[in-house]
Every structure is written in structure tokens, then in C-alpha cells.
Amino acid sequence: MIEVISESRCIECNQCVSVCPTNVFEKVEDGVPVIARQDDCQTCFMCELYCPVDALYVAPESERPIGVTEQEALEQGLIGGYREKVGWGKGRTPVASHDYMYRLSVMTRF
């Protein structure tokens, strides 16, 4: 579930408010958006991918909140890792074009 919106990183673009398919976030006038409906989070990680400044952290636990703090997420280097792997963001190559997509198909039936 979504656990963290980093106040220090968030640029208040409200992209997460727009892209969340289950409307978990709430826009705040002149402020950082809030996680208003955490129970509705389906742990799809899409908000993390669309956040342009890696200010969000979605914990893998989908059933209940586990209470990760921004500090913990940052210290463990958890923030921003998914977006990097998918290859979204300036100067990155989308994983969609990765050679391994084809290599794997040669070696398996996927």
C-alpha cells in the first residue's frame, strides 16, 4: 500500500492525484497532496512510476498499512527504485526495449 509522500521531495504537481486509478490521494491547496483513502489502495505501484521526483513509496504489503516512515524509506534506498527499473525519467531507456525481453523468449516459452 502507499505509505509515504515525501514532503521534502514533492513538488506539488498532483500527478499522483490524477493517475491513481482508485483515487487514493487528495489535492491540498498550496500544499503537498495527502493519502486520504489508503484503504482503497490496490498496490499497483502506478503512482510511483508517474511521480516525476520519486517522492512516493508503495510498500509491497497489499492487505494492510505497515507504517513505513519517509526516513526509513529513504535510508533503505527504497524510494524511486521501481521507476528506475522501468526506465522512466530523464536520460533513462525504457525497459520495454530491453534486449532481455527478446532473449528470454528465445530461451523459454514466455
Partner 1 sequence: MAKLAADIQLKADVLVIGGGPAGTWAAITAASRGAKVILADKGYCGSSGATAPSGTGVWYVKPDANLRAEAKASRYNLGGRLAEHRWMDRVLDRTFSNMNYLSEVGYPFPKDDQGEPYKRGLQGPEYMRLMRKLVKKAGVKILDHSPVLELLVDEYGVGGASGVHIQTNDTWTVQAGAVVIATGGCAFLSKALGCNVLTGDGYLLAAETGAELSGMEFSNAYAISPTFSSVTKTAYYSYANFYYEDGSPVEGAGSKSGRSIIARKLQEGRQVYAKLDQAPEEIQQLLRVNQTNFFLPFDRKGINPFTELFPVTLRLEGTVRGTGGIRIVDETCATSVPGLYAAGDAATRELICGGFTGGGSHNAAWAMSSGSFAGEGASAYVKKLGVHGVDRNLRSASTAQHIDRIDGASALATANKTEEIVRAVQAEVAPYNKNLFRTDATLKASLQQLDQLWTEQRNSTVVEPSALGMKAREAMAMTATARWMYNSALARTETRGMHKREDHKALDENQRYRLVSSGLDSIKVRPEQVSDEHLVKEGEAV
CA dist 72 and 100 (Å) reads 33
Q: Which of 12, 22, 31, 71 binds partner 1 (CB under 8 A)?
A: 22
Nearer to partner 1, 11 or 95 (CB): 95
Binding-site string for partner 1 from residue 38 to residue 57, where x marks contact by CB under 8 A and - marks none: --x-xxxxx--xx-------
Rg (CA), the chain: 16
CA dist 102 and 86 (Å) reads 16
The closest of 101, 99, 81 to 89, measured between CA atoms, is 81
Provide the binding-site residues for partner 1, judged by CB under 8 A: 17-23, 27, 40, 42-46, 49-50, 59-63, 78, 81-82, 85-86, 88, 94-105, 107-108, 110
